[in-house]
Copies of this chain bind each other. A is one copy, B any other.
Amino acid sequence: MALLFSSQGDDADLWRHNMATELPDLDFRVWTPDGQDIGDANDIEYALVWKPRKGALKEFQNLKAIFSLGAGVDHLAGADLPKGVPVVRLVDRGLTQGMSEYVAYWVLHHHRRFDAYADMIAENGWQRLAQKDAHGRRVGIMGLGVLGRDALEKLKPFEFDLAGWSRTPKTIPGVKSFAGEDGLQEFLKRTEILVCLLPLTPETTSIINAQTLALLPEGAYLINAARGGHVVDNDLIEALDSGHIGGATLDVFHTEPLPDDHPFRAHPKVHLTPHIASITMPETAARAVADNIRRIRKGEPPEPVVDPETGY
C-alpha cells in the first residue's frame, strides 16, 4: 500500500508531511529523475504525478488511480498511461480559490484602469480618468467548469455584467450563457474583458486567434490563465500592436519558462506572471487526494475522473 510521488516542480517533503497528516498509514515514495530506489513496484497503488515520463506508469501492475498534481490533465496527454486506471483531476479549494483571486484581481485591474493611472503618476500627472460603472462592464469567462463557475461567483458581488461560454449550454444564475460554435461569436462580440479558463483539448487549442480576437470590441482586454496552447501568440501580438486589443495578462505559455527573447517579454501592453494564477498548495490539496484514496478503499470511484486525451 504505497503512493508514488513524481514531479519536478512540487515540494515532495511538503506533500509527504501533509499526506501523512491525512493518511498516517500511507507509504509515501518519491520517484526522482536519477532513478532513486522506490522499492517493490507491486506495492504502488496510487500515483500522484506531474508530467510523468512516457510509459513510465505502466510498470505498476497494482495501480488503482493516477492523481494529477494540477487542475489540468493535459500534462498527461501522450504519457502512454496504463489502460483501465482512472485518471483523477485535482479539485482543491486552494487551487480554485487561487484562480478566482487571480481572475478577480486582473478584471479589476483593467476595469479600474490601473495601468493608465500608473503611467500618469510616473509622469507626475494627477487627474481623474473617466470610469465606467461595473453594471456596464461586460466580463466574459470561457470555460464553465469548477474554476470558471467559482470565478463568476467571486465577480458577482461587484455587479459586473457577466457572461460565460462553454462547449455545452450551462445555466448559471446571473450569468448570460453562450455555448458551442454559434454562441462563441455572439459571446466574443459583447465581451470587454475576456478570461480564458478552458481545458486544453484539440477543440480549444489555438481558440484565441486572429479571427476570434477580431470579434472582441475595440480595446478589449485578455486574461489567459488556462494554457499557453489556447493562444496563437503572433495573432495576439498583432492585435495588441494594432490597438484592437487594449492589453493582456498572461500566466501560461507555449514554452515555460517563457524564453527571454519572446516578444511578450518586453511588450508594453502585456503583464506576465510565471504560471502562478492557481497554485497547488499541499496544505489544502492533500486533503482532496486523501479523500479520493479513502473513497477507493471503500470501493467507491474517485472523482472527478477524466480522459487525459480529451481533457474532460
List residues of A whose CB falls within 8 A of some B CB: 9, 94, 97-98, 100-102, 104-105, 108-109, 111-112, 114, 117-118, 120-121, 124-129, 131, 133-134, 153-154, 157-159, 256-258, 260, 265, 271-276, 279, 281, 283-284
Contacts and interface: CB of A to CB of B under 8 A. Distances in A.
A210 to B, nearest CB: 26
Contacts of A109: 105
A98 B108 CA distance: 10
A47 B283 CA distance: 57
A111 to B, nearest CB: 7
A128 B97 contact: no
A117 B276 contact: yes
Contacts of A284: 133
Contacts of A120: 274
- The 4 closest A-B CB pairs, nearest first, are A126-B257, A105-B108, A126-B274, A121-B272
A223 B227 CA distance: 33
Contacts of A100: 158
Given A97-B159, A101-B111, 19 more contacts: A97-B134, A97-B158, A100-B158, A104-B108, A105-B108, A112-B276, A117-B274, A117-B276, A120-B274, A121-B272, A121-B274, A124-B260, A124-B265, A126-B274, A128-B275, A128-B279, A129-B276, A133-B283, A153-B157
Q: What is the total number of copies of this protein in its complex?
A: 2
Contacts of A98: 131
18 contacts: A9-B128, A97-B133, A97-B158, A98-B131, A100-B158, A104-B104, A104-B108, A105-B105, A112-B276, A117-B273, A118-B271, A124-B260, A126-B274, A127-B274, A129-B276, A131-B276, A133-B284, A154-B157
Contact of A101 (B129, B158, B258, B274): B158
A94 B131 CA distance: 11
